[in-house]
């Protein structure tokens, strides 16, 4: 087995470890990890790894290797069952779900349904079920739509959909516009798309000069503003949706908009070395948005089928639209993955280029 280990306090300190594959116990399944995506969202998982628990899903110690200071960064992707000691999960079954950066993963299927299963391994059982689930791709026809970019966009768009629903459910906290930072990030683009489709607020994207032309070309934002233009924004009631987690940037927004900030929605931290969010003297403070808990609430209110229907009404059109501005090649190997990982940490990734990776072979 081959896997990537990350220093939990210094994401730039990584180790590629090769070990023997573990034998399966009764009830376990071996997944061969076919392809996975790397996005800024994966950096967020590491930054909040201890606070929210992302480091625990694939804690190397639970699998019998690694040091105490090391963790495995979670990613999303496709895998195939290559060995099974679980009668209800057949060899050859393709699944989609939460994975480590590795070439294989051993899981213990439980709560099995016609749509998929949960990994009920002891170390994962207390963790959030949204991240423990593996869905059978054959059971959901949406996996056949633009399949190559699904691992890149699917988990991010769910968050985008939920942010839009949350802001709309609160009538945008009385504000007429939403400012979204890191406007070129995929979660930001999905959020802007949903808000533009709803049409209730003005959607402003904040981005770098380097990415301005691309962000404008998507048509998802009513206005695109570069970071050097923040002080030129009208001082109007505003909701901030922050994907960057850059404290210095947020301070500038608060210093300029002051009590016009009606809500601050903290979603990600693509700038992993940035300062912490400020505690403003004026304006609503930033509050963390945890998508899995909000999704659980909405599923309780709408039912599983109702939730899936509402999501698909936005997801499938966005997926087809995104294929116009995003290109994805065949899954690349270890060296390309390590280069892309470095680009993510340095915030130099090209938003128009998505890539899938594999550690197999």
Do 348 and 255 lie in one domain? The reply is no
Give the pLDDT mean for 159-166: 97
The pLDDT of residue 276 is: 54
Q: Report percent pLDDT > 70 for the chain.
A: 97
Do 96 and 221 lie in one domain? The reply is no
The residues near 242 (Cβ < 8 Å, ≥ 6 apart) are 181, 182, 250, 264, 265, 266, 267, 268, 277, 286
Structure tokens at 209: 């000069």
Cα separations (Å) of 286 from 124, 176, 226, 276? 30, 18, 21, 11
Do 50 and 16 lie in one domain? The reply is yes
Cα separations (Å) of 18 from 9, 13, 25, 66, 360? 22, 17, 21, 11, 12
Give the pLDDT mean for 12-21: 94
Do 16 and 139 lie in one domain? The reply is yes
The pLDDT of residue 298 is above 70: yes
CA distance 56 to 167: 30
CA distance 161 to 35: 24
The pLDDT of residue 217 is: 96
Do 139 and 190 lie in one domain? The reply is no
Looking at the domain assignment, is residue 308 inside a domain? no
Burial 280-310 (b: 16+ CB within 10 A, else e): beebbebeebbbeebbeebeeeeeeeebeee
The pLDDT of residue 270 is above 80: no
Range of the domain at 64: 2-146+327-357
3-state DSSP assignment of residue 354: strand
Q: How many CB atoms lie within 10 A of CB 87?
A: 9
Helices in 76-149 by DSSP H: which ranges? Answer: 129-132
CA distance 298 to 295: 5
Do 19 and 98 lie in one domain? The reply is yes
Q: Which of 57, 44, 156 is nearest to 101 (CA)?
A: 57
pLDDT band, very low/low/confident/very high, at 77 (cuts 50, 70, 90): very high
Number of domains in the chain: 2
**pLDDT tens, 89-106?**
999 999 999 999 999 999
The pLDDT of residue 272 is: 47
The residues near 271 (Cβ < 8 Å, ≥ 6 apart) are 182, 244, 245, 246, 249, 347
Give the pLDDT mean for 292-313: 90
Looking at the domain assignment, is residue 11 inside a domain? yes
Listed range (86-90, 151-155, 171-175) with the worst mean pLDDT: 151-155
pLDDT band, very low/low/confident/very high, at 278 (cuts 50, 70, 90): low
Do 162 and 105 lie in one domain? The reply is no
CA distance 243 to 131: 20
E-assigned strand segments in 153-199: 177-180
The pLDDT of residue 121 is: 95
Do 183 and 280 lie in one domain? The reply is yes
**pLDDT tens, 316-352?**
999 999 989 988 878 899 999 999 888 888 877 777 7
Looking at the domain assignment, is residue 284 inside a domain? yes
pTM as predicted: 0.81
């Amino acid at each position: 087995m081959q896997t990537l280990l990350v220093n939990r306090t210094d994401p730039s300190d990584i180790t590629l470890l090769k070990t023997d594959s573990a034998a399966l116990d009764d009830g376990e399944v071996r997944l061969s990890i076919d392809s996975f995506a790397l996005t800024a969202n994966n950096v967020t998982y590491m930054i909040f790894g201890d606070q929210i628990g992302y480091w625990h899903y694939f804690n190397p110690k639970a699998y019998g290797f690694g040091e105490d200071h090391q963790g495995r960064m979670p990613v999303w992707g496709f895998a195939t069952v290559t060995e099974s000691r679980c009668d209800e999960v057949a060899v050859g079954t393709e699944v989609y779900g939460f994975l480590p950066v590795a070439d294989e993963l051993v899981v213990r299927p439980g709560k099995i349904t016609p749509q998929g299963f949960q990994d009920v391994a002891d170390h994962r059982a207390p963790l959030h079920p949204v991240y423990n689930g593996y869905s059978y791709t054959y059971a959901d026809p949406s996996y056949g739509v633009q399949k190559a970019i699904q691992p890149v966009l699917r988990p991010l768009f769910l968050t985008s959909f939920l942010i839009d629903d949350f802001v709309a459910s609160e009538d945008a906290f009385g504000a007429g516009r939403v400012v979204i930072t890191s406007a070129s990030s995929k979660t930001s683009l999905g959020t802007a798309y949903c808000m533009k489709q709803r049409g209730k607020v003005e959607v402003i994207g904040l981005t770098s000069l380097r990415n301005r032309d691309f962000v404008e070309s998507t048509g998802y934002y009513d206005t695109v503003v570069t970071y050097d233009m923040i002080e030129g924004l009208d001082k109007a009631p505003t909701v901030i949706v922050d994907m960057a987690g850059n404290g210095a940037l947020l301070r500038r927004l608060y210093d300029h908009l002051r009590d016009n900030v009606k809500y601050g929605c903290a979603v990600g931290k693509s700038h992993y070395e940035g300062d912490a969010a400020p505690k403003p003297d004026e304006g609503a403070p930033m509050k963390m948005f945890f998508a899995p808990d909000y999704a659980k609430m909405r599923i309780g209110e709408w039912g599983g089928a109702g939730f899936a229907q509402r999501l698909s009404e936005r997801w499938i059109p966005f997926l087809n639209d995104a294929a116009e501005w995003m290109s994805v090649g065949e899954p690349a190997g270890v060296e390309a993955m390590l280069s892309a990982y470095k680009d993510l940490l340095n915030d130099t990734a090209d938003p128009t280029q998505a890539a899938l990776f594999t550690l197999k072979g």
